[in-house]
Amino acid sequence: MHVADSQTTILYPARNPTKRPLTAEDLWKVARVGGPVPTPDGRVVVPVTTYDLETNKGKTRLWLVPGEGGEPRPLTSEEHASTEPAVSPDGRWISFLRTRGEEKPQLHIMPLDGGEAERLTDLPLGVLDPRWFPDGTKVAFISMLLEEAPTPEGTKGLLEKRAKDPVKAHVTEDRVYRYWDRWLTEGEKPHIFVLDLATRRMTDATPQGTGWFDLMDPCGQYDISPDGTEIAFAANSSRPPHQLLRWAIYTAPASGKGPVTCLTPEGTPPKSADFWRPRYSPDGKSIYYGMQRDPYFYADKVRIVRHDRASKTHTVLTEDWDRSPAAWELAKDGTVILEAEDRGRVLLFAMPAGGGTPNPLTEQGTVSGLKIGRDGRVYFTLQTISAAPEATSIRLDGKELRKLTGFNDALLSEVALGEVREIEFAGADGNRVQMFVVLPPGFDPKRKWPLVHVIHGGPHGIAGDNFHFRWNPQAFAAPGYVVACVNFHGSTSWGQDFAAVIQGGHGDKPYTDIMRATDFLLETGYIDEKRMAATGGSYGGYLVCWIAGQTGRFACLINHAGVFDLIAEYASDITQGRHQAYGGEPWDRLDAIDRWNPARFARGFTTPMLVIHGERDYRVPHTQALAVYNIYKAKGVDARLLFFPDENHWVLKPRNSLVWNREVHAWLKRYLA
């Protein structure tokens, strides 16, 4: 597809062209606005996190915002971090988590319209995800307990004993024993507690244990029945050694007295694998949950299933919908509101209670943190490539989109933002492939500009219409680069087939798509072919390593936490599904793995590479970075190593992030200036 055959849309125009460029320091001044929580009278409570570069830490404060938008009022002080707000059904109280210093977050409660906060818990491993019971008399929450001592007192005593023990060895026979940046051998398991606000009595609703294996973030994975008698939750049903991980839906009496029941044993519905995020219908007759069928493909689409509690039947509602929702809630009339990726965005959709094709409520950007108010509006955060997240609401029929907060308006009015274009071109096999292109402020199409590819991770993810706080396309464009974010084959949000097509060939079609995107942009006439770079993290780093062995057309490369050797990646925390992703196992079809293994193509390494990694990364172990860097040095090819001993797969600390940005932009300037 040539330029004339492509489709180009100006998504967001350039803003403030005469202002100063966006910097890494600006990204840490941006207020991180969390999901708004509606009150019964139409206001919203909004958690907002701000960062202090001097202390190298962030702190979250809760704000009360009028439902029509307007001047926010702080509910909590700046002294301590306050997170995860939940409003009582009568609108008089707010529960939240507060963290003092280095202690674990504990449950607090305070009057919504002002007053002193009261601490309700003192649990050794803290509290997560508080939820009010429908009658407002109790609050449920999650707390971790040690499997060897599954009471708060027992866990506290065992933790103190372990702290005094000089031996810190990890011993396991499980297949899964690490997760992202932590070991799972400590025996921490989530329990759902119920706190009676009148008596302050705390009950463990899951005292028998549920097999809730501590892998996923448990937040958002449980719900309380409308009559307050039952709790539904998602739990890992695999048994040690966890050879095949599988999640199921369970129910337990809220009283803690009675059996835990699995609603989705093996084969219910047929040929199913994992089940997520149960939500009761407003009338209590049904439970809606998500289902994935393929346990070896983490991007297998999520289907919404309705469980009829009386007949004990399960009905798949969205099998024919080729999108994959990540979150869902139910309105008073039973309408199911969903968050789902679509064409590089994350949109809101509405689906009738009985099923049918969901209808989009939003059109652009990325939504998150959805909640449904009593006023028939949906509340969420909304962001785009050119706008930081802010609290937003919309009617259930998709009308009256309303921005509620402007915490970042002043800051973003001070900086220049480039024009954002959405382009479709012919990628691998002639299929249409989409990319977002961000032009530098002051862009002149008559000039020649450097090109920087920002390649997303996953690979089953997206280069999204969002305001990323590190891989920010506007910040990459600010020094004077054209930035391309390609949603290559394997990306999600274009349907199941488009995502799954790269299994067994991770370096094949995505590489072709990046090369054809490059060719397309060169045809526009405003790209300098001698000043092009490719950058990426995680799978994006893998593709950078693959590019390094296949072509010398780029002036430099940046590889953050990238997979370099597919065989060595078996040191990762999760290896389930590798045979599908890589095309084989080390003991079976090794030739298929080697075909797309960047380590086997080191002969072609001639392009300078900046290599970045965190030592606490267990998803892509840091030895991947050391290996590719050492090979570069042994060959005498330009390379630079940036290594963070205190970071994991991401760079989360503000000052470390500034170093990351400084090194990345210095490397680009060295070869693209």
What the block records as the tokens of 370 is: 């959805």
Pair (434, 511) in one structural domain:
yes
Residue 110 placed within a domain: no
Question: What's the rounded mean pLDDT across residues 210-221?
Answer: 65
pTM of the model: 0.95
Residue 68, pLDDT above cutoff 90:
no
pLDDT one-digit tens code per residue, 350-406: 999 999 999 999 999 999 999 999 999 999 999 999 999 999 999 999 999 999 999
Contacts for 592 with CB less than 8 Å, ≥ 6 apart: 504, 582, 583, 584
Residue 526 lies in a domain: yes
Residue 17 in domain? no
DSSP output for 515-566: HHHHHHHHHTS-EEEEEEEEEEETHHHHHHHHHHHH---SSEEEEES----T
Same domain for 571 and 494: yes
Question: Are residues 392 and 431 part of one domain?
Answer: no
pLDDT for res 253: 96
pLDDT in tens, 517-562: 999 999 999 999 999 999 999 999 999 999 999 999 999 999 999 9
**Ordered DSSP codes for 366-407:** EEEEEEE-TTSEEEEEEEETTEEEEEEEEETTS---EE---T
pLDDT in tens, 398-452: 999 999 999 999 999 999 999 999 999 999 999 999 999 999 999 999 999 999 9
Which residues lie closer than 8 Å to 537 by C-beta, 6 or more apart? 457, 471, 560, 561, 562
Q: Determine, yes or no, domain membership for 176.
A: no
Give the rounded percent of residues in the chain with a pLDDT score beyond 70. 97
Q: How does DSSP classify residue 502?
A: T
Residues 353 and 420 in one domain: no
Which DSSP category does 104 fall into?
Answer: P
Cis omega before residue 654 (within 30°)? no
Among residues 357, 385, 407, the one where a domain terminates is: 407
Joined together, the tokens standing for residue 375 give 């006023």
CATH code, domain carrying 398: 2.120.10.30
The dihedral over CA atoms of 437, 442, 448, 450, expressed in degrees to the nearest 10, equals -50
**Strand, coil or helix: 427:** coil
Q: Say whether pLDDT at 270 is over 70.
A: no
Q: Among 236, 230, 223, 235, which residue's Cα sits nearest to residue 205?
A: 230
Q: Does 366 share its domain with 394?
A: yes
Do 349 and 469 lie in one domain? The reply is: no
Here the CATH number for the domain that contains residue 527 is: 3.40.50.1820
| Cα–Cα distance for residue pair 272/265, rounded to 1 Å | 10
CA distances from 629 to 236, 546, 623 (A): 38, 14, 10
User: Residue 101's pLDDT is what?
Assistant: 85
> Quick check: 142 and 217 in contact, CB under 8 A?
no
Q: Is the dihedral of CA 641, 645, 649, 650 positive or negative?
A: negative
Beta carbons within 8 Å of 84's beta carbon, 6+ residues apart: 47, 96, 97, 105, 128, 129, 130, 219
Confidence of residue 642 (pLDDT cuts 50, 70, 90): very high
pLDDT band, very low/low/confident/very high, at 69 (cuts 50, 70, 90): confident
pLDDT surpassing 60 at residue 476: yes
Q: Are residues 394 and 421 in the same domain?
A: no
- Give the mean pLDDT of 581-591: 95
Left, alpha or beta for 129 (phi > 0: left; psi -120 to 50: alpha)? left
Percent of the chain with pLDDT over 90: 91
Q: Is there a domain that residue 94 lies in?
A: no
Q: What is the model's pLDDT at position 216?
A: 55
Domain boundary (407, 442, 472) is at: 407
The answer to whether residues 391 and 371 touch, using CB atoms and an 8 Å cutoff, is: no
Full 3-state SS string of 344-368: CEEEEEEECCCCCCCEECCCCCEEE
Q: Are 369 and 404 in contact (CB under 8 A)?
A: no
Q: Cβ neighbours of residue 432 under 8 Å, at least 6 residues apart?
A: 1, 424, 425, 426
Same domain for 587 and 510, yes or no, is yes
CA 603 to the chain's CA centroid: 36
Angle among Cα 144, 216, 178 to the nearest 5 degrees reads: 85
Q: Are residues 346 and 494 in the same domain?
A: no
The residue ranking higher by pLDDT, 117 or 67, is 117
**Residue at 658 is within a domain:** yes
Residue 166 lies in a domain: no
The answer to whether residue 225 sits within a structural domain is no
pLDDT of residue 266: 81
- Bridge partner list, 27: none
Last residue of a domain, one of 361, 390, 407: 407
Residues 385 and 444 in one domain: no
Cα separation, 55 vs 303, whole angstroms: 44
pLDDT at position 1: 45
Residue written as token pair 């930081």: 388
Give me the number of domains the chain comprises: 2
Domain residues for 342?
Answer: 263-407
Tens digit of pLDDT for each residue in 659-671?
999 999 999 999 9
pLDDT of residue 211: 52
HEC string for 110-152:
EECCCCCCEECCCCCCCCEEEEECCCCCEEEEEEEEECCECCH
Whole-number average pLDDT of the chain: 95
Query: Is residue 332 located within the same domain as residue 279?
Result: yes
CA angle 564, 566, 570 (to 5 degrees): 115
Residues 275 and 310 in one domain: yes
